[in-house]
């Protein structure tokens, strides 16, 4: 097996080389595992909120409310992450 780099972590290329070299060696592999896709989560919305969301989904010409909600949630999370990063940057600048 190859030595680890200075940080102690193998690069993707090193991992690929090891896996390809051991691909036909049955003793190099453990017992197979089964991987299931993650279950999707559900969220209950009050009927009034669901109706408002459905209205705005149609207004924005989204194919269905679920797709519109995913887009809105993704946009809001991006906004919150940007705001949080800005606050962290401001705090570190004030400490200097």
**Which positions ≥6 away from 65 have C-beta within 8 Å?**
50, 53, 54, 57
Encode burial over 40-68: b for 16+ CB neighbours within 10 A, e otherwise.
eeeeeeeeeeeeebbeebeeeebeebeeb
Instruction: Tell me, yes or no, if the pTM score tops 0.75.
Output: no
Amino acid 5: pLDDT: 60
State pLDDT tens for residues 28-68: 888 888 988 888 888 899 999 999 999 999 999 998 999 99
Q: Is the pLDDT of residue 74 over 90?
A: yes
């Amino acid at each position: 097996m190859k030595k680890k780099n200075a940080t102690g972590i193998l690069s993707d290329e090193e991992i690929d080389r090891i896996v390809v070299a051991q691909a036909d060696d049955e003793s190099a592999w453990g017992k197979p595992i089964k991987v299931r896709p993650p279950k999707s989560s559900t969220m209950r919305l009050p009927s009034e909120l669901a109706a408002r969301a459905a209205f705005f989904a149609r207004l924005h010409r989204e194919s269905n409310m679920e797709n519109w909600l995913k887009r809105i949630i993704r946009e809001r999370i991006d906004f919150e992450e940007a705001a949080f990063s800005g606050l962290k940057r401001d705090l570190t600048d004030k400490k200097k």
